[in-house]
A and B are shown apart, each in its own frame.
Chain A
Amino acid sequence: MEEKEASQVLVHLEVDGKSVSLAEGSTILDAAKLLGVQIPTLCYTPLVEPYAACRLCSVEVEYPRGGGKVVTACNYQVWDGIKVRTDTDKIRRIRGMIVEMLLARCPDIQVLKDLAEEYGIEKVRLEKQEEGCILCGLCVRVCAELVGAHAISFAGRGLDRRVATPYDKSSDACIACGACALVCPTKIIHVEDQEGREIIHEELSLGPSKAITLPFMQAVPNIPYIDTEHCIHFQTGECGYCAKICDRDAIDYELQEETIEVDVGNIIMATGFELFDPSVMGQYGYGRLKNVVTSLEFEHLNCAAGPTGGRILMTDGGEPSSVGIIHCVGSRDENYYKYCSRVCCMYALKYAHLIKEKTDADVYSFYIDMRCFGKGYEEFYHRLLEEGVQFIRGRAAEITDYAIDSDEEGKLIVLCEDTLIGALRRIPLDMVVLCSAMKSNEDAKELSRIFSCSLGSDGFFIEKHPKLAPVSTTSDGVFIAGGCQGPKDIPDTVAQGAAAAAEVLSLIDRKEVEVEAAIAVVDEDRCSGCKLCNTLCPYLAVKYDEEKGVSVVNEALCKGCGTCAAGCPSNAISARHFENRQIFAEIEGLL
């Protein structure tokens, strides 16, 4: 690699009078980028080989020996001594005419309108068509060269040229990656959902918009991961663009998931929670109606690093003029989860505030009770009341797109009973946020078995004692913190996490483990050496001593369950603290 760089030949040239040196094999476009000289392009992407079809990047080149010509910057390789001019009258005329020709072909394409403005084209003098595609070939080339799917290609020649699938039929070669739509400068390619075919990339998708992405902004470690289900490389074996551009060679497609065993003395379970999927609640139309989103999806929209760059947008890319927030979706609901998810009221208030701040939309909040229990929370609620958020007390009954008058046309209509005014209402909205219930993880049951700690009827882990041991479990050395213990907000989670860490530290600090006092002991005089106890012990703590002819208990291994004592036919084993006579005494005392 280094050798290659050292042997690279530099060439020197001028672009618009500015000198620049760069490696042999670079293009004029590379040189212009280096100098910050703007050259417009339509059919260029660094992802695939230059195509030079739109000719918009035309520039004038003057040869060192005299003479020159008009060339395209995207694929003209630089050589020593050339002088490039990107903004001469001639070039402006040529580019202007190209834009005018394209605009005549596709009068409604925004990128062309923008270019027309830049090149001062006020009126298109040429015969107009109603096309959308400018035939730049980006989609075709990306599909073939990068994705390797070859699902679309040019059909027809000359004026009949168009982008098509084989025989204009829906093609199995298409892996629905959406790369074509992504690179299309005119944005006229739409990827449609088809039965049995999942769209990998969707415009304004609320999930990760790329197959390689950081799990979330504050992820630890802060390293991107590849979503193999959606990564083109894992589908077709092609692309590999991330590996190509990573100068640290950090991309390894061969890496496999692996299980790492770590020996530890303490475990803190902070496995979190899951969000209830509201699509099972048919009345809210989630997954069926556009612009009905869950609270987590709305959080994505709000995120500055998210797909919309933090703008609150509907699926068509427009800003909503009214937004509804429905509390208690799935929680406080006899049919789903009886408990209160605890955090929804407050984040719903936060959303209302953000919507007011970022857009001009009206905000409607549909609540059962407003639970603002924390420090400063009630005050925040009052502030929102002053901001003009509409709070409607009453569980929303239904979201529908069935309009009964013109005001409701094209809107989502929330049906609810406003219990404060005692009336049924229909409220037309552009977007509805569902504050979905927090629920325990699907695999909590399995974890509880592995760690021998109990699950509550709500599916969350139970602490050893609600007041005295709030982060401990019935298993020594296993602690719980955060959402896996029950719905809670971030401050509570942090506090619990710190508490669990402190518990662990106190155990580590002691440097020794106290063994159970309540263990089994063998009365060697009574033991007949029948070995029945040996098979009873789940921890193999009772072993037969050949020399003595009796069974003995390993005190470090014994957990003190007493099963051996209960099984001993000669009553030779007794469980400390739970000896027969102690229990008998209890029985006698009780009765």
Chain B
Amino acid sequence: MSVETNIRFQSPPELSAFRDRLSSERRDDINRITICAGTGCVAKGSIRVFEKFTEAIESRQLDATVELKISGCHGFCENGPLVVMKPAGILYMEVRERDVDDIVEKTVTTGEIIERLLYKDPVSGERARNEDEIPFYKKQMRVVLRNIGKIDPNNIDDYIAVGGYSSLAKVLSGLQPEEVISMIERSGLRGRGGGGFPTGRKWRSCRNAPGDIHYVVCNGDEGDPGAFMDRSLMEGDPHSILEGMIIGAYAIGAEDGFVYVRMEYPLAIERLLNAIRDAEVYGLLGGNILGSGFDFRIRINRGGGAFVCGESTALMASLEGRAGEPRAKYIHTVEKGLWDKPTNLNNVETWANVPPIIERGPEWFSSLGTDGSKGTKVFSLVGKVKNTGLVEVPMGITLREILFDIGGGVKGTKKFKAVQTGGPSGGCLVVDVEEKGKKGAFNLIDLPVDFDRLTEVGSMMGSGGMIVMDEDDCMVDVAKYFLSFLKEESCGKCVPCREGIRHMLTILDRITNGEGSAEDLQLLEELAETIAEASLCALGTQAPNPILSTLNYFRSEYEAHIFEGKCPAGVCKQLVTYSISADNCTGCTLCAKNCPAGCISGEPKELHTLDSSTCIKCGICYDVCNFDAVIRR
């Protein structure tokens, strides 16, 4: 995995000669076992699996014919740890340490496939041998994630072997900065960080901004709860981000770049640092890149984990060493950004989109997606969906395709209720599969997902979080959850955001406690207007989105809380009562055994009773009852 330190490419042809050498040296006769080392799989024990593999191979003296390596996140985190066996391309899922010997004994030595580790279709029950056969992957289009899962993120040679840095070589082989910008403009690429600003136009403004010094910044301060697209990219394919930044810096005329990564991503920082080191050794970064005379350096800055530092001006303030507080963007950062110099800031995913655009041409890119939104988008699909994980889909795909074809439908027996997109400041959209059309325009299950459609319906693309909710989720509670996140993350500088979010949260608390009134809804709407219009930065102006969208699509739930004193989803404790149905109770005693408050009594095989005066409304009885005998109202 170590880099060949005696190599330093002096020109683009030297790089491609090296790539040819790599492919000629590549042996096709050996087994390659790739173990996913994305955060999800690591959490599920993939490092231990990797170590076990190492042991097993050493003990059987298979070193010569088996090559072990790790890769970035495959996206199918639900079923990790994932192991890919090449050249056959077999994908094993949920591989535990105990499975390793089996795999080595059978698959490695005899080629026998272990059925139980293969993907099993939840509907048909059929097993799938490799990725392409699995619906989760079949509907995806992996542009940004093209290398993840295939290459070792710590090995620059791996990246070069799959065509890495060829876009940079192409740019430095005679493309003028203007031509590069024009290519990005023609591709129709829009910023993937949430704003959706046309990337090419941003680059052009920054290039044209007066001043000798320009900076490029990569925003890796991914703070949305449940989102891990950027993290997977930084951990799984750091070189493609660096390559995008180098190309961008060349187009803009910058000599210094910064990657701002939150402290909570130590693995991402480590892999980026490795990548920068290796790229510098190869002469792909630093002074006189590929002998072109173009200099560019990248430094990593660790953020303290403040959500607001994902906002560009706050991020720059933090980079400068000041408190991460936003300032007004009436003068754009492309004119006065970092240290008041023209600064071009793009999100991790945006940067990673650049090399494929250069390599395959802007026309190819703009052929993907919809009119206003080109290319693909990576979503982190989480919540009440079967296949949680990281998915990359072309713009314009419908929610139905994402949720069912890729996501595999709802988890458990409940019905889909809503999808929340765009992170904490996004909105909740109604999705109702079975009763299609019943809720009219509100049912957005067939909404094509792109920047403009999502904004139209009161949510946003954001950085690509997608949280799926079912009937057990209370929308008032959901709004409360996101708002309390924003309350914690507001920097406190401007009045509407600092004070307004607090007051909205107080009102939501009131409503979920059953103390709400009709005026509260009016007050929420008034507060929302001021916060949305008058806040200093996007954190504030978008903060009312969770409330506005739930008020818009699920007003009846609010009204149920206020006027009927009920929480339809049974989430808001103050409004829920539990009782035991005489019809269904079999007297199995399971609920009584599990009740932490000891408020359920009854002889075995007889009807149980629940003393609601001591009930703490934890809902355990409801969850454990196998006969639907516990009633929640």
Tell whether, in the assembled complex, residue B503 and residue A53 are in contact, meaning their CB atoms are under 8 Å apart. no
Tell whether, in the assembled complex, residue A53 and residue B536 are in contact, meaning their CB atoms are under 8 Å apart. yes
Q: What are the interface flags for A98-115 relative to B under an 8 Å C-beta threshold, 1 for contact and 0 otherwise?
A: 100110110000000000
Contacts of B67 in A (CB 8 A): none
Contacts of B530 in A (CB 8 A): 93-94, 97-98, 101
Q: Assuming A70-B533, A158-B498, is B330 touching A125 (CB within 8 A)? A: no
Q: Which of A156-209 contact B (CB under 8 A)?
A: 156-161
CB of B491 closer than 8 Å to a CB of A: yes
CB of B77 closer than 8 Å to a CB of A: no
**Shortest distance between the CB of B134 and any CB in chain A (Å):** 43
**Smallest CB-CB separation from A162: which chain B residue?**
B492
Chain B interface, DSSP helix/strand/loop, else mixed: helix
Q: Assuming A94-B534, A157-B306, is B492 touching A135 (CB within 8 A)? A: yes
CB of B506 closer than 8 Å to a CB of A: yes
**Smallest CB-CB separation from A69: which chain B residue?**
B533
**Smallest CB-CB separation from B520: which chain A residue?**
A125
**Shortest distance between the CB of A150 and any CB in chain B (Å):** 12
A137 to B498, CA, bound (A): 14
A55 to B326, CA, bound (A): 14
CB of B523 closer than 8 Å to a CB of A: yes
**Smallest CB-CB separation from B489: which chain A residue?**
A158
**Smallest CB-CB separation from A74: which chain B residue?**
B328
Specify which of A55, A93, A156 is in contact with B495 (CB 8 Å cutoff).
A55
CB of A58 closer than 8 Å to a CB of B: yes
CB of A76 closer than 8 Å to a CB of B: yes
Specify which of A69, A94, A98, A157 is in contact with B492 (CB 8 Å cutoff).
A157
A134 to B494, CA, bound (A): 10
A72 to B499, CA, bound (A): 18
Q: Assuming A53-B494, A53-B536, A159-B498, is B503 touching A94 (CB within 8 A)? A: no
Q: Which of B54-88 contact A (CB under 8 A)?
A: none
CB of A397 closer than 8 Å to a CB of B: no
CB of B277 closer than 8 Å to a CB of A: no
A442 to B387, CA, bound (A): 93
Q: What are the interface flags for B513-553 relative to A under an 8 Å C-beta threshold, 1 for contact and 0 otherwise?
A: 00000010001001101100111100000000000000000
Q: Assuming A98-B495, A101-B499, A104-B503, is B328 touching A72 (CB within 8 A)? A: yes
CB of B409 closer than 8 Å to a CB of A: no
Tell whether, in the assembled complex, residue A158 and residue B529 are in contact, meaning their CB atoms are under 8 Å apart. no
Tell whether, in the assembled complex, residue B328 and residue A75 are in contact, meaning their CB atoms are under 8 Å apart. yes
Tell whether, in the assembled complex, residue A55 and residue B494 are in contact, meaning their CB atoms are under 8 Å apart. yes
**Shortest distance between the CB of A186 and any CB in chain B (Å):** 13
CB of A90 closer than 8 Å to a CB of B: yes
**Shortest distance between the CB of B197 and any CB in chain A (Å):** 15
**Shortest distance between the CB of B158 and any CB in chain A (Å):** 41
Q: Assuming A72-B328, A94-B533, is B491 touching A158 (CB within 8 A)? A: yes
Contacts of B495 in A (CB 8 A): 53-56, 98, 101-102, 134-135
Specify which of B487, B506, B526, B536 is in contact with A127 (CB 8 Å cutoff).
B506
Contacts of A157 in B (CB 8 A): 306, 490-492
**Smallest CB-CB separation from B522: which chain A residue?**
A125
Tell whether, in the assembled complex, residue B493 and residue A53 are in contact, meaning their CB atoms are under 8 Å apart. yes
**Smallest CB-CB separation from A75: which chain B residue?**
B328
A177 to B190, CA, bound (A): 51
Q: Assuming A53-B495, A101-B503, A126-B503, is B331 touching A159 (CB within 8 A)? A: no
A77 to B328, CA, bound (A): 11
CB of B624 closer than 8 Å to a CB of A: no
Contacts of A104 in B (CB 8 A): 499, 503
CB of B113 closer than 8 Å to a CB of A: no
A90 to B526, CA, bound (A): 11
CB of B488 closer than 8 Å to a CB of A: yes
Tell whether, in the assembled complex, residue B492 and residue A161 are in contact, meaning their CB atoms are under 8 Å apart. yes
A158 to B306, CA, bound (A): 11
User: In this complex, which of A55, A94, A134 has the most chain B Cβ atoms within 10 angstroms of its Cβ?
Assistant: A55
CB of B386 closer than 8 Å to a CB of A: no
Q: Assuming A101-B495, A104-B503, is B527 touching A159 (CB within 8 A)? A: no
Q: Assuming A98-B534, A154-B323, is B328 touching A160 (CB within 8 A)? A: no
Tell whether, in the assembled complex, residue A55 and residue B330 are in contact, meaning their CB atoms are under 8 Å apart. no
Tell whether, in the assembled complex, residue A93 and residue B330 are in contact, meaning their CB atoms are under 8 Å apart. no
Contacts of B490 in A (CB 8 A): 157-159
CB of B369 closer than 8 Å to a CB of A: no
A176 to B321, CA, bound (A): 27
Contacts of B536 in A (CB 8 A): 52-53, 55
**Smallest CB-CB separation from A99: which chain B residue?**
B495
A127 to B494, CA, bound (A): 18
CB of B502 closer than 8 Å to a CB of A: yes
Q: Assuming A55-B535, A98-B530, is B523 touching A125 (CB within 8 A)? A: yes
Contacts of B493 in A (CB 8 A): 53, 135, 137, 161
Contacts of B331 in A (CB 8 A): 77
Contacts of A93 in B (CB 8 A): 526, 529-530
**Shortest distance between the CB of B334 and any CB in chain A (Å):** 16
A50 to B590, CA, bound (A): 65
CB of A303 closer than 8 Å to a CB of B: no
CB of A71 closer than 8 Å to a CB of B: yes
Specify which of A70, A127, A137 is in contact with B534 (CB 8 Å cutoff).
A70
The 8 closest A-B pairs by CB, nearest first: A161-B492, A97-B530, A101-B499, A158-B492, A70-B533, A55-B534, A158-B490, A126-B503
7 examples of A-B residue contacts, CB within 8 angstroms: A90-B533, A93-B526, A94-B530, A125-B519, A126-B503, A134-B495, A161-B491
